[in-house]
Chain A
Amino acid sequence: MPSPLPLIDATRSGAKTVALPAPGSLPARTVAANGLIDRLRGSVSERPAVDPGLAGGLRAWLEDGTSTAPDRGRLIVEPGPRSGLTVLVVPAAGMPGQAARQAPCRRGAPPRSGADLRAILLRTVLRLTLTAGPPRAPFEDALAALAVSEWGGLVVEDVGRLSRHRGSELREVVRHGATGIAHGWAPPPAAWLPRTGDRVIVPLAGGRVVLQSDSDLVLGAPSAGRASVCMMRALPGDGTLEGGKVRRFLMLLETLRSGAAPFRVASYDLDRGRLVVDDVTEATLSAAVQEVLALLRRRLDASEGAR
């Protein structure tokens, strides 16, 4: 059993709760950034049995809702660089999944903002911390790690284009954030099967719509009948409506991929060093489907309006 930590009620701490379909019923909790992995895992006895038909039902709902998606390109739904969910439109040609992977870091895209760069660098520091312990020089180490990743070189280029003053500011902000990360996180025991950067891609409507995300930490073996997986993604600023959408999106994607719902999904607030935890229920998964379909509908309506 993890050591008991003071749970901070989301409403008392000022964190906003989420909407859809029953805003008050979603079990978001905020915990102090200490022993965060224990908080994420919770107790084994709390893990519910898996309904093996649920994933199929959710997929059918999504397929139904996306069946009229146009064939002009691929619609990619993913967590945005800072918060919430975004929809990107990319050309449909090429390898399955390739366009989806390239979308967030495509060459020729406008340079990322300072806030985007900060979020990317801090997520990299978090992954390094969870893999090999806190980096000694967080800013430089994050850049070194990004330089060898598939698209991270473009981020390194963006950082290199900053003025000396803004570069120093960014270094200081990353150093400060890394201190908070080192305080709350450490490499989990290998027996928990930890993985960072775990990517999920769910194609719908014959690949015309792609839902995708990546998690900063996933723990647990695949389900054998009882929910066994928990996951966490870092977000700059959380406890908000948009953070809740991202958490529900993550749980939906993992359910569709593995056929079994995870038991818990959390987001780590990079600004305040807090973990916001949602237990996974049918209600939260249904909310996630509604949110994805509503987002796509808005995007398609906007496209039609522009035409």
Chain B
Amino acid sequence: MTAPAAPTLSPMCLPRAGALTEALLGDGATPSTDAVASARRDLEHGLTDAAGRAGARPCLRVRAFDLVTAAGGGSSAATPFRWTTRTARRRVGLAALRACLSEPGMVPAEAVALVVADPAAPSGPGPAGPGSCSDWLCSLSPPARAAVQAESTAWATAVWTSLEWDRVQPAPVVGAPDRWWDWRGPVRVALQGRADVRVPGPGGAHLVVLDGYPSAASRQALCFGPLVDALRSNGAATPARVVAWWPECGKAWVQQVDGAGLRACAGQVVRVVRLALDATERAG
């Protein structure tokens, strides 16, 4: 399966925020409902085929991360999730960015300090509950919270300075909850779509902030969030493009969402599900 090409932003353009904002607001049509229906058929057919050989097992969750990991030859199951300064920085950072957008003059360091000081507040890093980021933060000692604050401030500042926010219209949605699409066949599969910033409406876009640096494997996952949106809405809420941005290396890729990209991504999802089911079979 060939991943779609994704043009990169020129490193010569300064300020970078201008170029990234242009990329996010660029022209382009969303894929047709026929293209979405075709991707859905491919996906459901592939999942049915893959699940036909599988015994009973709990729901399989698939994220963009899993597509990248599988394409790179790794296994995401090897590293169980735990809250750390690194895994919490996105939640805390997004809450801080929402505060910066709603309070003129506020900057990330101030906003992050407020979020970390009162994680259980409505403006905190998400709903409270066992295992949640806000419960974890509440349980930390002051120096541990300061460590989270430091890492989150660096992340939030990188995102805050990456865009010319006042140019992004309609108003962007920052850190909206992940979107899910469920497939209930012989095996239950749940796709978890994520975007850090969503520009809503027709011709909308996703900004996805990623760790590390891009590779060939990264291309496989760019259309994953749009695929989930397309499947959920039957194509009515599919974004026109995705901008993937790696602040640690300063690279950005722009991916126009089209039928071919959605079908390629659906193929990768089927591959990941096959790998997971094969691993379960070998272990069992």
Give the B-binding residues of A (Cβ under 8 A): 50, 52-53, 55-56, 59, 93-98, 100-101, 124, 127-128, 130-132, 135, 140-142, 144-150, 190-191, 193-203, 207, 210, 218, 221-225, 256-260
Q: Sorted from nearest, which 8 A-B pairs have the closest CB atoms?
A: A97-B212, A141-B143, A145-B147, A257-B250, A195-B154, A190-B109, A132-B146, A96-B215
A193 to B162, CA, bound (A): 13
Contacts of B141 in A (CB 8 A): 141, 144
Of B12, B73, B143, B148, the contact of A259 (CB 8 Å cutoff): B12
6 additional A-B pairs beyond A190-B107, A196-B154, beta carbons within 8 Å, are: A95-B72, A95-B211, A127-B147, A145-B144, A191-B107, A193-B109
Nearest CB on A from B12, distance (A) = 5
Q: Does B168 contact A (CB under 8 A)?
A: no
Contacts of B74 in A (CB 8 A): 93-95, 98
Q: Which residue of B lies closest to A218 (CB)?
A: B154
Q: Which residue of B lies closest to A258 (CB)?
A: B250
A125 to B83, CA, bound (A): 21
Q: Does B217 contact A (CB under 8 A)?
A: yes
Q: Does B220 contact A (CB under 8 A)?
A: no
Of B13, B72, B249, the contact of A257 (CB 8 Å cutoff): B249
Nearest CB on A from B26, distance (A) = 20
Cβ–Cβ contact B248 & A201, under 8 A: yes
Cβ–Cβ contact B14 & A96, under 8 A: no
Nearest CB on B from A88, distance (A) = 16
A132-B142, A222-B16, A260-B14 known; A96-B212 Cβ under 8 A: yes
A202 to B247, CA, bound (A): 11
Cβ–Cβ contact B249 & A203, under 8 A: yes
A128 to B15, CA, bound (A): 31
Nearest CB on B from A161, distance (A) = 21
Nearest CB on A from B124, distance (A) = 17
A51 to B146, CA, bound (A): 37
A259 to B252, CA, bound (A): 13
| Interface residue count on the B side (C-beta < 8 Å) | 47
Cβ–Cβ contact B154 & A200, under 8 A: no
Contacts of A199 in B (CB 8 A): 154, 248
Q: Does B140 contact A (CB under 8 A)?
A: yes
Cβ–Cβ contact B11 & A56, under 8 A: yes
Contacts of A59 in B (CB 8 A): 11
A96-B215, A147-B144, A150-B84 known; A222-B17 Cβ under 8 A: yes
Contacts of A256 in B (CB 8 A): 250
A259 to B251, CA, bound (A): 10
Cβ–Cβ contact A95 & B69, under 8 A: yes
Q: Does B161 contact A (CB under 8 A)?
A: yes
Which of A131, A197, A198, A258 gathers the greatest number of chain B CB atoms within 10 Å?
A131
Contacts of A223 in B (CB 8 A): 14-15
Cβ–Cβ contact B11 & A259, under 8 A: yes
Q: Does B258 contact A (CB under 8 A)?
A: no
Cβ–Cβ contact B157 & A145, under 8 A: no
Nearest CB on A from B107, distance (A) = 5
A146 to B83, CA, bound (A): 13
A59 to B251, CA, bound (A): 13
Give the A-binding residues of B (Cβ under 8 A): 11-17, 68-69, 72-74, 83-87, 107-110, 140-144, 146-151, 153-154, 157-158, 161, 211-215, 217-218, 248-250
Of A135, A149, A198, A260, the contact of B86 (CB 8 Å cutoff): A149
A52 to B10, CA, bound (A): 11
Cβ–Cβ contact A196 & B12, under 8 A: no
Cβ–Cβ contact B144 & A55, under 8 A: no
Cβ–Cβ contact A95 & B212, under 8 A: yes
Cβ–Cβ contact A224 & B84, under 8 A: no
A196 to B151, CA, bound (A): 7
Which of B140, B151, B218 gathers the greatest number of chain A CB atoms within 10 Å?
B151
Contacts of B69 in A (CB 8 A): 94-95
Nearest CB on B from A172, distance (A) = 19
Of B142, B144, B157, B250, the contact of A193 (CB 8 Å cutoff): B157
Contacts of B217 in A (CB 8 A): 95-96
Cβ–Cβ contact A135 & B143, under 8 A: yes
Of A100, A145, A207, A218, the contact of B146 (CB 8 Å cutoff): A145
Q: Which residue of A lies closest to B215 (CB)?
A: A96
Contacts of A222 in B (CB 8 A): 14-17, 161
Q: Which residue of B lies closest to A199 (CB)?
A: B248
Cβ–Cβ contact B150 & A197, under 8 A: yes
Cβ–Cβ contact A196 & B153, under 8 A: yes
Contacts of A260 in B (CB 8 A): 14
Which of B140, B146, B218 gathers the greatest number of chain A CB atoms within 10 Å?
B146
Contacts of A132 in B (CB 8 A): 142, 146, 149
Cβ–Cβ contact A52 & B12, under 8 A: yes
A98 to B212, CA, bound (A): 7
Cβ–Cβ contact A202 & B249, under 8 A: yes
A244 to B107, CA, bound (A): 33
Cβ–Cβ contact A207 & B161, under 8 A: no
Cβ–Cβ contact B212 & A224, under 8 A: no
Q: Which residue of B lies closest to A223 (CB)?
A: B14
Contacts of A197 in B (CB 8 A): 150-151, 154
A218 to B155, CA, bound (A): 12
Contacts of B144 in A (CB 8 A): 144-145, 147-148
24 pairs of residues in contact across A and B, judged by CB atoms under 8 Å: A52-B13, A95-B74, A96-B213, A96-B214, A124-B147, A144-B143, A144-B144, A145-B147, A148-B148, A150-B85, A190-B107, A190-B108, A195-B109, A196-B154, A197-B154, A198-B154, A200-B248, A201-B248, A201-B249, A202-B213, A224-B15, A225-B14, A256-B250, A258-B16
